[in-house]
Amino acid sequence: MRAILVGAALMLSSPAPAQTIRPFVEAGPLAGHDRTWGQSIAAGGVLVGGGVRVGPHVEFRVAMDLTPATDVAIGPTSYYGGTPPAETARVTYLVRARDRSISAAFGWAVRVSQRLAVVPAIGWAGIHRSDSVTATTVVLATGERSERVGSNCHDSCSSAPLFGMDAVIGLTRHVSVVPDIKAIWYAPVDNGGVIVRGGLAVRWTF
């Protein structure tokens, strides 16, 4: 009995094991659909990020989605005049849109096997939006062609909640492949909607 009490006292007095902290960096290609412009715009780019794994489960991650501008043609729209009405001109609109984001998220790693962990995550994304509209008009009678940049061009920053899911596939102690998918729920401004992006990053854990 005395031995049991002594053992229990030693266990209670011994310090708790320190949590392991392993920082990591990662990068890879991404692709997705942006439905915040009133239509679905497909865009590719590069994911760059990093973070830290605390213990076996807790993960903090910061990521940047770097996407180039995407051109989307709308039209042509026909214009009519005269009596009887006849087509006089056609206008095609070229929308150049881009959404880049930087996000911070908290994840909880669920170990599936020795080399595979699934990490659902929730966080917040800051979004830098830019767009421009160029209208190209063709006068049918003369074939004259003119371009005009619209006055509704804008450059803005905003933020929105983010929901994500990663699968961390360990190849070695330091190298992992990380399929990543995230949804940024954009506020009901500029048509509202969701930005959905998937990536495939290579992670180096220190």
pLDDT in tens, 24-49: 999 999 999 887 776 677 888 999 99
Tokens coding 4: 């049991």
39, HSE (Cβ side, Cα atoms, 13 Å)? 10
pLDDT range class, residue 2, cuts 50, 70, 90: very low
% of residues, the chain, pLDDT over 90? 50
DSSP for 4-21 reads HHHHHHHHHHSPPPPPPE
Tokens coding 171: 């190849």
CA 10 to chain CA mean position, Å: 50
Mean pLDDT score of the chain: 85
Q: What is the pLDDT of residues 128-184, one digit of tens each?
A: 888 788 889 999 888 899 988 875 566 778 888 999 999 999 999 999 999 999 999
Position 91 scores a pLDDT of: 92
Please state which architecture CATH assigns to domain 19-205.
Beta Barrel (2.40)
Position 1 scores a pLDDT of: 44
Position 10 scores a pLDDT of: 44
Nearest 5°: the CA angle 51, 52, 53 is 135
H/E run at residue 50: strand 41-54
DSSP for 154-205 reads EEEEEEEEEEEEEEEEESSSSEEEEEEEEEEEE-SSTT-EEEEEEEEEEEEE
Position 16 scores a pLDDT of: 46
186/115: higher pLDDT: 115
pLDDT at 186 over 80: no
% of residues, the chain, pLDDT over 70? 85
Q: What is the pLDDT of residues 7-17, one digit of tens each?
A: 434 444 444 45
Cβ atoms < 10 Å from Cβ of 158:
15
**Mean pLDDT value of segment 176-199:** 83
Q: If we measure between CA atoms, which residue out of 130, 72, 126, 122 comes closest to residue 98?
A: 130
